[in-house]
Amino acid sequence: MKSEQNITLSYQPINIVGLINHEVSRNIILIIDSQLKMLNLTQNIISKVKLIAVEILENICKHQHKEVVEYPEFSIKKNNNQLVLTASNQINPSKHAELSEKLSNLKKFNKEEINKMYINQLANGKLSATGNAGLGLITIAKRSNNQYKYKFTSAGNITIFTLEITLDYADN
C-alpha cells in the first residue's frame, strides 16, 4: 500500500546568531530568497530585502569586533504587512560616536536627497584602506525609505550596535 505524504512549506522567521562571515552571508541570502518566495511577495520587495540584507551582513563582516563577547544576530520577521529586519553586533567602542553621527545625519535627509547622496558617492567616493566605498548605510537608507531605528548598548568595555529596518510590502 502506497501512503501519501503531504508536504507543506510555510514561511518561518529567519533568526541567525553566531559569527557571520562571507560564506554564512551567502547562505543567509539564499534562505531569505526561499522564505520570501513562500510569502508570494513581488520580486521587487524580495530584491529590496535581499539588497538591504547584503549590506547589513557585509557591515557585520567588516565591522564586527575582533574579540567577540556577544555574537552577531540577524533576523527577519513578518509583522502584518511589514518585514522587520534586525541586526545586532558588537562593534569597537571607539566607532560608536562616528557611526551614531552617520546614522543620525542620514535620518535628516528625504528620499530625493538620499538618492543624490548615493549617486554622488558612486561617482566621487573613494575607497578606504579596507575597500569600503561608504555606500552601505546610504544604500540601507535609500532602499528602506529611511525607515530604520538604531541603538547602542554599552556593557563594560563592549558596545552592541542594533539596527532595525521596517519595510512595508502591502503596496509593492
Per-residue pLDDT of 135-151, as tens digits, reads 899 999 999 998 999 99
- pTM reported for the whole predicted model: 0.86
Block residue for cell numbers 533576523: 75
Q: Top-level CATH class of 14-168?
A: alpha beta
What is the C-alpha to C-alpha distance for residues 130 and 64, in angstroms, rounded to an integer?
Answer: 14
pLDDT tens by residue, 19-42: 889 999 999 999 999 999 988 899
